[in-house]
Amino acid sequence: MAAEIHARPQSSRPVLLSKIEGHQDAVTAALLIPKEDGVITASEDRTIRVWLKRDSGQYWPSIYHTMASPCSAMAYHHDSRRIFVGQDNGAVMEFHVSEDFNKMNFIKTYPAHQNRVSAIIFSLATEWVISTGHDKCVSWMCTRSGNMLGRHFFTSWASCLQYDFDTQYAFIGDYSGQITLLKLEQNTCSVITTLKGHEGSIACLWWDPIQRLLFSGASDNSIIMWDIGGRKGRTLLLQGHHDKVQSLCYLQLTRQLVSCSSDGGIAVWNMDVSREEAPQWLESDSCQKCEQPFFWNIKQMWDTKTLGLRQHHCRKCGQAVCGKCSSKRSSYPVMGFEFQVRVCDSCYDSIKDEDRTSLATFHEGKHNISHMSMDVARGLMVTCGTDRIVKIWDMTPVVGCSLATGFSPH
């Protein structure tokens, strides 16, 4: 369907449409059902539920199914109406949901992992269910036979997963802060490359197959955009969250990135601008501005009879500087710094007022967000988290997309 792009006033905010309560423990996944007023949720309370909107405007569970173990991850394939649920015990269970979403039939169990399942993706073309887990591996299993096809192990928990259906490349983030790119084959795999840039564990990934961009969010409160398709591995750093970034979604139509953090922060980043790559931090034994020695430079301290200084770095130029030569703070959104960060005095003087104009909007979800998913065509977003609440949002005031058919999410 065609879509219209509307102007986005900076004051626009997500509109809370519905709040779903009823789970007895953390909700680990919530997915909007395409073309339906419905949501599928999975929870640590061992239940998977399908919620349909009634004439009263309230959501009621049309399906309530109790599992043997807490539900930790979920994938839903709408065309075949297949649901895959990962559990704390390492198993992935497949169900088929009826056309009216009032009944769910068990299909089979996949012994995918030895520990908690962290992410699941289903590929209809290959009939693979791909999953990551806290047993430090990614596995892919055949949905026809139920057999294990292959496994690849990492040095730490595999925490999140994205997959390119055309090339059969899998992106796996782990708790060490590393992202591994694998080429999956029928019974084997090969490591293509590893990406290192985060200072904390990887919490979420998003792959855009059109522009071949990978976005990663981590416990260091930051997001990195990796240009997998070219430009010499160009990366962009985005810093605007105050807590762990737990979910991401890139909107190709409007070139915006939506991110959610565990403190309830919802950010919408404008990626349709020319951004600058953050510089690599330079190392030096003395301040690269005033040439005063740093505290480990014993020889220069002795020669000049001065005390060594602490080393800092300018976020704009990357030079190693002392505190006196970097006494200023400034935001620099074009480089992803929506907060005020340390810059050297000369860089501070070079930043114009218009350079400080924000390239993102920030909103308060008012609940812990551990998982988010979007129905881009309708401009809807669903969030869930440890507070056991599921929220459905109208994002069209923020992202500016609405269907030309006249659909209204209200």
| Domain ranges, ordered by start, for the chain | 15-278+358-399, 298-356
Q: Same CATH fold, 298-356 and 15-278+358-399? A: no
Q: What is the pLDDT of residue 407?
A: 32
Better pLDDT: 307 or 381: 381
pLDDT in tens, 248-293: 999 998 999 999 999 999 999 999 888 888 888 898 988 988 988 8
Contacts within 8 Å (CB) and 24+ apart, 96-102:
97/50, 97/63, 101/33, 101/36, 101/38, 101/50, 101/52, 101/62, 101/63, 102/62, 102/63
Q: What is the pLDDT of residue 8?
A: 41
Fold of 15-278+358-399: Methylamine Dehydrogenase; Chain H (2.130.10)
Q: What is the pLDDT of residue 232?
A: 57
Q: What is the pLDDT of residue 208?
A: 95
Sign of the CA dihedral running 343, 349, 351, 353: positive
Q: What is the pLDDT of residue 386?
A: 94
Mean pLDDT of the 314-327 span: 91
| pLDDT(396) > 50 | yes
Mean pLDDT of the 29-52 span: 96
Q: What is the pLDDT of residue 231?
A: 56
| pLDDT(365) > 90 | yes
Q: Which CATH superfamily is domain 298-356 in?
A: Zinc/RING finger domain, C3HC4 (zinc finger) (3.30.40.10)
For residues 384 and 367, what is the distance between their CA atoms, to the nearest angstrom? 8
Better pLDDT: 10 or 1: 10
